[in-house]
Amino acid sequence: MADTEGIDTEASQSWWRKWIRLQDIVWLLLFFSLAFYSPGQGLIELSLLPALALFQVVATKLPIFATTRGSVAAIVIELGIAYALMRYTGGVSSSYYIVLLLPVIFAGTTMGLIGMAAVTILAMAEYLSLLLLIDWTTQYIEPKEIFELVLRIGVLPVVGILTHELAEANRRAARQYQKVAQQLETANENLVEAEAAVRRSERLAALGQLTAGLAHELRNPLGTIKASAEMLTRNVTTQNAVAQEMAGFISGEVDRANSLVTRFLDFARPLRLQLSPQHLDAVLDKAVADFNRRKPPFDVELYLNYSPELPKVALDAEMFSSVVLNLLTNAAQASPPKGAITLKTRLLGSAVEVSVIDRGSGIQPDHIENIFNPFFTTKPDGVGLGLAIVSKIVDEHGGTISVESEVGQGSVFRIVLPLAGRQLPGGASRKRNKPQ
């Protein structure tokens, strides 16, 4: 109940702040006082002064006057009321000439320099038009009255310019504050993401240390089981086919488990890269040769599209060759028979890009977010460490890896590496949906 009352009170205060402001009370008191204490106490003053006060207050509240057309309409109304006041309270000598400042100030705060100048000229012309009401055959203007006339006309552009400059300064400050607020919001989002990444990295590091130790411990019993299965195979008689088959199953599953342990340890242990300037073409050719020697071979067409005269790249040739071999193997597994795979390189300023392009089955959009995570796989016999290890090796080289894929159209894996002695700008994205 207390919370509801607090919300209602706050809403009520917001309503009062929106519709009743201190300057509104000042406007009303000023114009009603002028109407009450006006020496003439004429009907024109008693009606136009309160009307101008009410319009001045209401015009700032209604959304219709917040538009460009609304602002123009408000200025026209104020000019009309001001003219009527001066016309029927002494003409050019009327003390209500000061009311002309209202449309000038309004234009200075809501319009640009040209709009403010146009309204100021209209206000000056409106005041000077009162000279046409003088009967020049019986009246004239004395020199001291000419000075007063010039002073009344001159104050309008001065007030207009000063108001416009003040409004522009406020608008510039508001834009600057908005820009700073956006920068702070972006920095805060980046900080939150960085903190989440740090916490995730700490959890993964702890998990990696635990499981790496467990993997080491698994190797000893796996070796014992493997040796026992081989001894059982040698000692079982050929007539006992079931025992021999079971021993073969044990040996095969031990090899599979040992392979999994080995791959996990490759992922978990810190990498010690042997970086040296390398000709990228030679490193890629080694991966291609290993791919072509695979048994049984893949039924695909591999096309090489190397950019000529690429500078040397700081690489661990053996590890980066394994990265490309892994990507080529995945592309071949996703491609149909006689499918085409392209291995492409190109220069990107201070970096070089290596792309593996296939026109295979593609990757589901909901899988792209997890494709580089360890133990994520869509293959029935996969373990989900291949691309995780690829990503880790690329990261250790100071590069980035990204994937663009569309289901049924194929995938493009892009690796961007800095040239020897260079560093990549940060922030490259790792996951996209559609190939370009």
| CATH code at position 386 | 3.30.565.10
Report the range of poorest mean pLDDT among 69-73, 257-261, 384-388.
257-261
Q: Average model confidence (pLDDT) for the chain?
A: 79
Give ∠ CA 96-100-104 in degrees, rounded to 5.
Answer: 160
What integer pLDDT is reported at residue 352 of this predicted model? 93
pLDDT tens-digit profile of 355-395? 999 998 888 888 887 788 777 677 666 666 778 888 888 98
Q: Are residue 393 and residue 285 in the same domain, yes or no?
A: yes
Q: At what angle do helices 317-334 and 386-396 cross, to 10 degrees?
A: 140
19 falls within a domain: yes
- Higher-confidence position of 106 and 6: 106
What integer pLDDT is reported at residue 1 of this predicted model? 44
**Mean pLDDT, range 157-171, rounded to an integer:** 90
d(CA 97, CA 413): 75
Task: Tell me the β-bridge partners of 278.
Answer: 313
**Mean pLDDT, range 397-402, rounded to an integer:** 90
282 falls within a domain: yes
Residue among 376, 394, 393 at smallest CA distance from 385: 376
- Higher-confidence position of 313 and 50: 313
Q: Are residue 300 and residue 404 in the same domain, yes or no?
A: yes
Long-range contacts of 247-256 (CB under 8 A, 24+ apart): 250/225, 251/226, 254/222, 254/225, 254/226, 254/229, 255/226
412 falls within a domain: yes
Q: Are residue 281 and residue 333 in the same domain, yes or no?
A: yes
User: Quick one: tokens of 33?
Assistant: 């006082």
What integer pLDDT is reported at residue 435 of this predicted model? 38
What integer pLDDT is reported at residue 138 of this predicted model? 79
30 falls within a domain: yes
Rg for the chain, CA atoms, rounded? 41
Q: Is the pLDDT of residue 429 over 50?
A: no
Q: Are residue 51 and residue 125 in the same domain, yes or no?
A: yes
Residue among 127, 117, 120 at smallest CA distance from 149: 127
Element (H, E) at 161: helix 143-235
What integer pLDDT is reported at residue 432 of this predicted model? 39
**Beta carbons within 8 Å of 355's beta carbon, 6+ residues apart:** 342, 343, 344, 345, 346, 412, 413, 414, 415
Residues 156/82, Cβ–Cβ less than 8 Å: no
Among the candidates 140, 162, 184, a domain finishes at: 140
394 falls within a domain: yes
- Higher-confidence position of 7 and 318: 318
What integer pLDDT is reported at residue 235 of this predicted model? 74
- pLDDT band of residue 252 (cuts 50, 70, 90) is confident
Give start and end residues of each alpha helix (H) in 60-135: 68-87, 101-110, 113-128
d(CA 276, CA 420): 8
Amino acid letter for position 388: A
What integer pLDDT is reported at residue 434 of this predicted model? 41
Structural domains counted in the chain: 3
Measured between its terminal Cα atoms, the distance across the chain in Å is 58
Among the candidates 268, 289, 318, a domain finishes at: 268
Q: Are residue 320 and residue 349 in the same domain, yes or no?
A: yes
Report the range of poorest mean pLDDT among 19-33, 125-139, 178-192, 220-234.
19-33
- pLDDT band of residue 285 (cuts 50, 70, 90) is very high
Q: Is the pLDDT of residue 112 over 80?
A: yes
What integer pLDDT is reported at residue 102 of this predicted model? 83
d(CA 123, CA 153): 9
Domain of residue 229, residue span: 207-268
d(CA 153, CA 101): 11
Pairing of β 339-348 and β 300-305: parallel
pLDDT tens-digit profile of 178-203? 999 999 999 998 898 888 878 877 77
Residue among 317, 310, 372, 315 at smallest CA distance from 344: 310
**Mean pLDDT, range 279-301, rounded to an integer:** 90
The owner of tokens 């009170």 is 9
Report the range of poorest mean pLDDT among 73-82, 241-250, 338-347.
241-250
Beta strand ranges found along 231-366 (DSSP E): 276-278, 300-305, 313-315, 339-348, 351-358
What's 253's domain CATH number?
1.10.287
- pLDDT band of residue 433 (cuts 50, 70, 90) is very low
d(CA 337, CA 409): 15
Q: Are residue 260 and residue 281 in the same domain, yes or no?
A: no
What integer pLDDT is reported at residue 228 of this predicted model? 79
d(CA 158, CA 163): 9
Amino acid letter for position 321: S
d(CA 177, CA 167): 15
User: Quick check: pTM over 0.85?
Assistant: no
Q: Is the pLDDT of residue 311 over 80?
A: yes
Residue among 226, 284, 218 at smallest CA distance from 255: 226
The owner of tokens 């834009």 is 175
Report the range of poorest mean pLDDT among 53-62, 93-102, 196-205, 344-353.
53-62
**Mean pLDDT, range 399-422, rounded to an integer:** 87
